[in-house]
Structure 1
Amino acid sequence: MTSSSGRARQAARNDETILRAAHEVFLEDHRAPISAVAERAGVGISALYRRYAGKEDLLRTLCHDGLRRFIAEAEQAQQQPDDWTAFETFVRGVVHADVHSLTVHLAGTFAPSEEMNADAIRANQLAMALFERARPLLRPGAVPADMTMLLEMCAAVRVPDPDRTSELRVRYVDVLLDGMRAGDELPGPAPTVEELSWRWNR
């Protein structure tokens, strides 16, 4: 029993190491070969293939993990009794979790699973509910698609130092959230569904 538990813990640690390495490698270059992930993780290529059928399977797992984190942040934000605090907690949580950086980068490079599609629907429902709670406090013309673009803008902030990246994202999420608060009507037409989803159709 003890030996089995030890192997399970080691396997979990190896998988975490592989996923962390894959996140770094594919964020730098989504065209990188899967061997680059094994090298970064310090494991043999055979160890990686025992866990993932191939690069697409690994990419799918990375993005699905990000989607689950998105859902967790939304569910946690829902517990806030104040509508603006719930919206702000959600946005800040997703930005801090760095969910969008890799997802946007890898969109269209793999086929989502049925489970991932179901979780995407759930994520959208949660985000919409939080947006609707905050809508009376937002600028006229604001739509849920604006929130998606806001999250992508924050994810685009990246410098070589991870700690500095986090500091800068906190700085600019403040600016973007303030820009969404009640005031003048937002200019121009809002993003369309096609403009938000074009990456997934590549």
Structure 2
Amino acid sequence: MTTAPMSGRKAQAARNDELILRAARAVFTADPGAPIAAVAERAGVGISALYRRYPSKEALLQKLCGDGLRLYIEVAEKALEDHGDPWEAFAGYMRGIVDADTNSLTIRLAGTFQPTEELYRDAARASDLALQVYGRAVEAGVLRPDVTAADIALLFEQLASVKLGDDERTSQLRHRYLTLMLDALRRPPAHRPLPGPPPEDMELAARWTP
């Protein structure tokens, strides 16, 4: 079945929505207290176009976190559908969550808006899936038994706090440290080459340059 192409107006609305959501994520993960006008400015759309789609900052934050939860659920479900090597299924889940970067939203936006009933349901679903992924790895004997699911959740937040250079460099470094974490989590321990070069002193020092 072929999907009919969107009309020009609908296609423009879809493009605007994508621009708004991308801008909102960047603005609010940098400063949760930023006004909604900052999102419109970054997205390059009029404030009226933004308000037509999202009548309030609260609605925009709910949309961002809803999309993040659904992406988390998708990654976890994919891991549970993988019936191959149990360690690789778990490691794939960890990499998928790091790539999805849903924890940047958790770190910056938790407690800044009122979740909807749908968000509560999706959060419960995501938590249940995370426990299943964790439990399966423990049961298979590939994950060290003294690590809890809550430990894993906070490891994701630690990785999400790594931000250096542009998006590509940030992703490279997050995967470098994820590899270190996975080697420490694995049973028996593993020691693999770390991806990407380590951060240089000049990169760390650049953060202090206005």
* Aligned sequence identity (%): 55
Query: Per-residue CA shift, 1:2-41, capped at 9, x if unaligned?
Result: 8963222211111000000111111111111100000001
Take 1:89 and 1:151, find their aligned partners in 2: how far apart are those partners? 13
User: Residue 66 of structure 1 aligns with which residue?
Assistant: 68
* Residue pair 2:162, 2:170 contacting (<8 A) in 1 also: yes
| Contact 2:142-2:188 at 8 Å conserved across structures | no
Distance 1:70 1:9 in 2: 27
* Per-residue Cα deviation, 1:157-199 (whole angstroms, up to 9, x for no partner): 1113111001001100001111112269xxxxxxxxxxxxxxx
1:115 corresponds to which residue?
118
Q: Which residue is equivalent to 1:13?
A: 15
RMSD (CA atoms): 1.7
Looking at secondary structure, tell me which structure has more helix per residue: 1
Partner of 1:157: 162
Distance in 2 (alpha carbons) for counterparts of 1:104 and 1:137: 29
Matched residue, 2:41: 39
Distance across 2 between alignment mates of 1:110 and 1:130 = 29
Question: What CA distance in whole angstroms lies between the structure 2 residues aligned with 1:125 and 1:3?
Answer: 38
Q: Which residue of 2 aligns with 1:189?
A: none
Please give the alpha-carbon distance, in whole angstroms, between the structure 2 residues aligned to 1:85 and 1:118. Answer: 28
Tell me the TM-score normalized by structure 2: 0.83
- 1:133 paired with 2:136, answer yes
For the pair 1:28 / 2:30, whether they are aligned, the reply is yes
- 3-state SS of 1:43 partner: coil
- Spell out structure 1 runs of 4+ moving beyond 6 A: none
Aligned residues of 1:70 and 1:123 also touching (Cα < 8 A): yes
Q: Which has the higher contact order (CA 8 A, sep 6+)?
A: 1
TM-score, normalised by the number of residues in structure 1: 0.86
SS of 2:181's partner is helix
